Structure 1
């Protein structure tokens, strides 16, 4: 076993679960949390949920599932280097996208618009709703009954939720519906493993979107050459291997870029550790600033890459067409199910039909958000194609 740092989260000191259970004889609490995520229905559905491209556009583009696996791999690597709990970091990486609806951010934007009269939709809050309420796998309790540390990291992986200008009452409804929400120390940063998972997400999607964008023909290797850091790495690969094609250049350059991002994060985090000398995970949460971070020198290359990907990939006309179609599909589904809850399948119809509109909207939102891309398209066909009678 790797030596743990004093600021690592210790599974022996877990604050436990909100529903009492006997400990596992073979797994730590965080290993058990990870396994519950992997076996959940919501996790399996990620295999056909959009990352950037709709799942049916090609077998080789990343989906939410493959993205989550890549984030988990990066998280474990960084956690091992820093002496953190690898299993908790992996758990948080695997669970961070569970609440995403079909069709990626286009789907989230549309569901939020549909739910605007009913307190909105937020995919992070939906992740909490899934693991505490919607998953039904155990007879003793709703949800997955994850440890306090996993729930805290899931909720706060992007930073504190409350502060002087953000009271609990301002949070999305799916957060506020969790009775134990305020026990998760919402005004503090998450533990170090959650911070690692959050930045591993940035490393994964920034660099792998380069690979998917080139594979999709949205831009070329030559288009990347003027970007700071990214262009240097691509030029270096081209000089070192002049005979390989653009796809192989992309594979090698992205591999090197991921290593550069990881090394920068580790070096900057070690500088911060040396400065603040945290003695426990609780001290990390109370610092008032992140412990896990990239250096200031990495900010300009990251910003330039994001601007490039936004213009050349996320706002490409092909992606915009997909976004437009996806929004219409979800808007039509939501409208029909809200106004005609008898068209929902059981048990959803039984839950929705007796409710007033605001409460029914949340049930409809849960149903639609849980869909895969392909299932949403098939539901749309069944409801709106007059030739489809089943």
Structure 2
């Protein structure tokens, strides 16, 4: 892979679009993402601690913006080092930094309400639909081909994110937001479809999940071709691609932010003691324990340590990228940067603490149960709407003329029925609708369809 092609500023479905010196593609990408409605909704979506009233606990938007800041630092530091070694043309380090920053900003745009438990809830609901009638499925699930069922049973926010930016946004024009090939490549941690991930007999890191649905595979293939990403085939002939090198920096930025900042949030809400958090943060920075300055509160000291820990983690990720540079560039690097960095042991400990103390906190668990019930209730109700649409031969105008209740409901929630022509596209329209909800809006819709009176 070559940087001149990997940093391709041309746009999805607009390969003739020329980059502008006074407003380069990565800046336009950043702005298009920042001002989009799906990004705005991240301000009301769970990061780790659901539906918290505390003003200082992270939600998805803050996490995305902090990740983009860390990603920019990673990109410029790696870029400067490559320029110094004559492995990157001078000036492209700024393109690299801006591309990583934009990709980080958009990395969580496809996440549903209630965090990762929301993904699991959508998948569990579809599993039940596919398992009904001795596995033949019911409703719209019955008409979805077996090779496409994994897209719904293992609903994936990464693939939903690519669908949003490449198809659903900007009035659903061809290419959606029409982000640059470089930003889309850096965004794609899992450059494959669900069927390819399931069929591939390979332990490659980019196959752990899937990053695009079958309906958007042709769009992703355009991105991969424009960037020169190496293409592979599964035993049955499914396509998948090696990761864009900058995807490793986006992943590292995400790892750094959610591991360190989720730790700080846990102290804020009382799931972890501040002393425990302080000790771990000092382990990351390598600084010896020291008494706090007299005028500093424990919270202020934790904030200072958090900033220093992020800086130390960035340095370690940059070192890891440069150390494994050749393998990254030929597509054979098969790990995460933080897992091979000098901070690997501490980050492994952070993961253990998160699994044991943060992700299992009583309040978080209780609210995830509530979130699952909310999502199941909404999916049940709106699935019935799509079954009715199917009975109308997928004619939305006919549905709205013949069914007064569905007409009211579609208008009440502004449900988009464009492009629904069969069971597969209906299932995606249903998941587009539910996954696009914020936590609070999902609860409001649940209350509306169950007849609860607003307080």
Tell me if both proteins adopt one fold, taking TM over 0.5 as the criterion. yes
Correspondence 1:67 to 2:120 = no
Correspondence 1:323 to 2:368 = yes
Kindly provide the CA deviation profile for residues 181-225 of structure 1, in whole angstroms up to 9, marking residues without a partner as x. 334245444333322111010001111011111110111123347
2:201 aligned to 165, 169, 175, which one?
165
2:302 aligned to 237, 250, 253, which one?
250
Which residue is 1:261 aligned to? Answer: 313
Which residue is 1:149 aligned to? Answer: 182
SS class of match (1:47) = helix
Which residue is 2:162 aligned to? Answer: 128
CA distance in 2, matches of 1:385, 1:356: 30
Which stretch has the larger CA shift, 75-84 or 111-120? 111-120
Correspondence 1:177 to 2:215 = yes
CA distance in 2, matches of 1:381, 1:142: 36
Change (3 A) 1:292 1:320: closer
Contact 1:115 1:361 in 2 (8 A): no
Correspondence 1:108 to 2:108 = no
Which residue is 2:83 aligned to? Answer: none
Which residue is 2:54 aligned to? Answer: 58
Contiguous gaps of at least 5 residues in structure 1: 1-5, 279-283
CA distance in 2, matches of 1:245, 1:67: 24
1:210 aligned to 255, 259, 263, which one?
263
Change (3 A) 1:242 1:310: farther
Correspondence 1:307 to 2:352 = yes
Query: TM-score normalized by structure 1?
Result: 0.83
Which residue is 2:42 aligned to? Answer: 46
RMSD: 3.4
CA distance in 1, matches of 2:306, 2:121: 32
Q: Give the number of equivalent residue pairs.
A: 372
CA distance in 1, matches of 2:72, 2:174: 30
Which residue is 1:239 aligned to? Answer: 291
The structural deviation recorded for 1:109 is: 0.8
CA distance in 2, matches of 1:226, 1:207: 12
2:245 aligned to 177, 182, 192, which one?
192
Change (3 A) 1:12 1:320: closer
SS class of match (1:253) = helix
Correspondence 1:287 to 2:342 = no
The structural deviation recorded for 1:69 is: 0.6
Correspondence 1:348 to 2:445 = no
Change (3 A) 1:9 1:105: farther
Query: TM-score normalized by structure 2?
Result: 0.72
Kindly provide the CA deviation profile for residues 324-354 of structure 1, in whole angstroms up to 9, marking residues without a partner as x. 11111011001101013423337636449x7
CA distance in 1, matches of 2:190, 2:212: 17
Contact 2:162 2:211 in 1 (8 A): no
Change (3 A) 1:174 1:34: same
Which residue is 1:3 aligned to? Answer: none
CA distance in 1, matches of 2:283, 2:186: 34
Which stretch has the larger CA shift, 182-191 or 293-302? 182-191
Which residue is 1:281 aligned to? Answer: none
CA distance in 1, matches of 2:289, 2:254: 25
SS class of match (1:387) = coil
Contiguous gaps of at least 5 residues in structure 2: 80-92, 131-140, 142-148, 233-240, 387-405
The structural deviation recorded for 1:39 is: 1.9
Correspondence 1:372 to 2:438 = yes
Which stretch has the larger CA shift, 194-203 or 183-192? 183-192
CA distance in 2, matches of 1:285, 1:82: 13
Which residue is 2:426 aligned to? Answer: 360
Contact 1:47 1:64 in 2 (8 A): yes
SS class of match (2:331) = coil
Contact 1:33 1:147 in 2 (8 A): yes
CA distance in 2, matches of 1:174, 1:216: 35
